[in-house]
């Protein structure tokens, strides 16, 4: 395997820490060039001491000062600001970029990596939801390689034919089956969902994740975002992407072929598996993940999602069908609504209501260029905030 030089965007998050776990096992294979974080300066400083990157990036000057102080006796140079994120994502000495910032904030640095032709390990699904067309275009034009980290898309990638060209029919693929755990509220009586607390919503049964994606998993907005993500990654139409609830989270997704074969990728629910897969691709490395013990698991079950319980999933299909700026609106409104829910400003069902309101209010917005999408994102945030403030 060739040695890789890494920038890790969002190093202090769940994906970032899992990535460093794998990287730490192979000091001869991976050199960390840059690590970035937002608020957790102490964690970032500890990571810098261990991995000795050339650069560490934070967003604002006061945090940068703090970090410089903590790293005063090291070789790591501390940079600051959004522009610095783009800079470390496109450094000539870097060949691989892990894009693991959460939310729309991850878009610009991921685009910078695409334009610079990097090998991009994409965890930040919001990039594809918000600006899929532009991002995929930047990947093609920049000659970048895209490897999905999201466990479902990584699974689909593994079940796809080698050298997949972007044409499902040409490869005999009938459809993509994305699995979903159903989250913490899969069996909770629908009429009690109004009383759900943020603590209950972030307590995912199978995965340990950041707070935003945990709430997204509870509402199944996460799966909705992933349907849109799959659309862009695999050039699949909405009717070629189906969601199946699979509460054990062992089958991470499937690809169904015309001849009736269904290929699935299975593993314990541990993000180090897709991370190690993408880090080493096309080789394989151990990820420190416990072996799958099927007799102990005993049963793998599947059920259809109930869109009455999970209206966000239906809204995502609706946004994908509407095209234009609708997925951008959905993503931005969702970020605002989830934040408001986590801050106890709105009850759980109001997340879906906010999205629905914003999609209706901003229907028909189109985007000729990336700047239009950034404007639509901003507008959707304002509309969502206003709706939340007066409800």
The residues that touch Mg ion, with contacts defined as CB under 5 A, are: 150-152
The entry of Mg ion, ligand NAD, none that residue 100 binds, CB within 5 to 8 Å by partner kind: ligand NAD
Q: Indicate which single residue of 100, 227, 358, 362 sits in contact with ligand NAD (rule: CB under 6 A).
A: 100
210 near ligand NAD (CB under 6 A)? yes
327 near ligand NAD (CB under 6 A)? no
183 near ligand NAD (CB under 6 A)? no
Give backbone dihedrals phi and psi of 192, rounded to 5 degrees, phi first. Answer: -95, 0
Q: How far is the CB of 335 from ligand NAD (least distance, A)?
A: 10
Sheet with 119-122, strands from edge to edge, namely: 77-80, 55-58, 30-36, 4-9, 96-99, 119-122, 145-148
63 near ligand NAD (CB under 6 A)? no
Q: How far is the CB of 172 from ligand NAD (least distance, A)?
A: 28
249 near ligand NAD (CB under 6 A)? no
The residue range among 172-180, 205-213, 295-303, 361-369 that interacts with ligand NAD, by the rule CB under 6 A, is 205-213
Could you tell me the two tokens for 331? 């993503």
List of residues 6+ apart from 123 with CB closer than 8 A: 10, 15, 98, 99, 100, 149, 150
Q: Burial-class residue 84 by CB neighbours within 10 Å (0-12, 13-18, 19+).
A: buried
The entry of ligand NAD, Mg ion, none that residue 311 binds, CB within 5 to 8 Å by partner kind: none
14: part of which helix (H) or strand (E)? helix 14-24
For Mg ion, which is the closer residue by CB, 151 or 334?
Answer: 151
41 near ligand NAD (CB under 6 A)? no
314 near ligand NAD (CB under 6 A)? no
User: Checking DSSP bridges between strand 241-245 and strand 173-180, what pairing results, if any?
Assistant: parallel
For Mg ion, which is the closer residue by CB, 150 or 379?
Answer: 150
For Mg ion, which is the closer residue by CB, 31 or 204?
Answer: 204
Contact assessment for residue 110 and residue 135, using Cβ atoms and an 8 Å cutoff: yes
- Size of site (CB under 6 A) for ligand NAD: 24
Contact assessment for residue 101 and residue 10, using Cβ atoms and an 8 Å cutoff: yes
161 near ligand NAD (CB under 6 A)? no
124 near ligand NAD (CB under 6 A)? yes
Contact assessment for residue 215 and residue 339, using Cβ atoms and an 8 Å cutoff: no
Contact assessment for residue 8 and residue 17, using Cβ atoms and an 8 Å cutoff: no
Give backbone dihedrals phi and psi of 99, rounded to 5 degrees, phi first. Answer: -95, 95
Q: Indicate which single residue of 31, 37, 107, 310 sits in contact with ligand NAD (rule: CB under 6 A).
A: 37
Give backbone dihedrals phi and psi of 32, rounded to 5 degrees, phi first. Answer: -90, 120
The residue range among 66-74, 206-214, 256-264, 324-332 that interacts with ligand NAD, by the rule CB under 6 A, is 206-214
Q: Indicate which single residue of 48, 67, 84, 101 sits in contact with ligand NAD (rule: CB under 6 A).
A: 101
Q: How far is the CB of 350 from ligand NAD (least distance, A)?
A: 21
207 near ligand NAD (CB under 6 A)? yes
Hunting for tokens 């880090």 — which residue is that? 279
Q: Indicate which single residue of 6, 7, 15, 110 sits in contact with ligand NAD (rule: CB under 6 A).
A: 15
List of residues 6+ apart from 175 with CB closer than 8 A: 168, 236, 240, 241, 242, 255, 256
For ligand NAD, which is the closer residue by CB, 198 or 210?
Answer: 210
User: Strand, coil or helix: what is 98?
Assistant: strand
For ligand NAD, which is the closer residue by CB, 254 or 357?
Answer: 254
Q: Can you tell me the distance from the alpha carbon of 27 to that of 52, in angstroms, rounded to the nearest whole number?
A: 11
For ligand NAD, which is the closer residue by CB, 76 or 357?
Answer: 76
Contact assessment for residue 57 and residue 86, using Cβ atoms and an 8 Å cutoff: no
Q: How far is the CB of 79 from ligand NAD (least distance, A)?
A: 12
Q: How far is the CB of 2 from ligand NAD (least distance, A)?
A: 25
376 near ligand NAD (CB under 6 A)? no
Residue 276: Cβ within 10 Å count? 24
User: Strand, coil or helix: what is 377?
Assistant: helix
184 near ligand NAD (CB under 6 A)? no
Q: What residues line the site for ligand NAD (CB under 6 A)?
A: 10-16, 37-38, 59, 100-102, 105, 123-126, 150, 207, 209-210, 213, 271
């Amino acid at each position: 395997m060739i040695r890789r030089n890494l920038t890790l965007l969002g190093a202090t998050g769940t994906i970032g820490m899992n990535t460093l776990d794998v990287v730490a096992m192979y000091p001869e294979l991976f050199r960390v060039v840059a690590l970035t974080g937002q608020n957790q300066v102490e964690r970032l400083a500890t990571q810098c001491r261990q991995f000795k990157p050339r650069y560490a990036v934070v967003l604002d000057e006061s945090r940068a000062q703090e970090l410089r102080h903590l790293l005063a006796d090291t070789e790591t140079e501390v940079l600051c600001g959004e522009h610095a994120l783009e800079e470390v994502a496109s450094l000539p000495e870097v060949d691989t970029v892990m894009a693991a910032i959460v939310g729309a904030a991850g878009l610009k640095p991921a685009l910078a990596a695409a334009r610079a032709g990097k090998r991009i390990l994409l965890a930040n699904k919001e990039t594809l939801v918000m600006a899929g067309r532009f991002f995929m275009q930047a990947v093609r034009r920049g000659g970048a390689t895209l490897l999905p980290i999201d466990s479902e898309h990584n699974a689909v990638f593994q079940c796809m034919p080698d050298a997949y060209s972007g044409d499902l029919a040409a490869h005999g693929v009938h459809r993509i089956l994305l699995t979903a755990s159903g989250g913490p509220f899969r069996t909770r009586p629908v009429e009690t969902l109004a009383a759900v607390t943020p603590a209950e919503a972030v307590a995912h049964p199978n995965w340990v994740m950041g707070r935003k994606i945990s709430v997204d998993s509870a509402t199944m907005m996460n799966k909705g975002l992933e349907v849109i993500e799959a659309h862009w990654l695999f050039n699949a139409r909405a009717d070629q992407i189906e969601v199946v609830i699979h509460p054990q989270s062992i089958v991470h997704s499937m690809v169904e072929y015309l001849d009736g074969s269904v290929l699935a990728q299975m593993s314990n629910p541990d993000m180090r598996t897709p991370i190690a897969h993408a880090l080493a691709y096309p080789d394989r490395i151990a990820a420190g993940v416990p072996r799958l013990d099927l007799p102990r698991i005993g049963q793998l079950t599947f059920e259809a999602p109930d869109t009455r319980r999970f209206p966000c999933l239906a809204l995502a299909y609706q946004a994908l069908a509407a095209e234009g700026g609708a997925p951008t609106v959905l993503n931005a409104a969702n970020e605002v609504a989830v934040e408001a829910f986590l801050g106890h400003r709105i009850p759980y069902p109001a997340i879906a209501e906010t999205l629905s309101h914003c999609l209706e209010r901003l229907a028909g917005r189109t985007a000729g260029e990336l700047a239009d999408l950034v404007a639509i994102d901003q507008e959707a945030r304002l509309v969502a905030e206003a709706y939340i403030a007066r409800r």
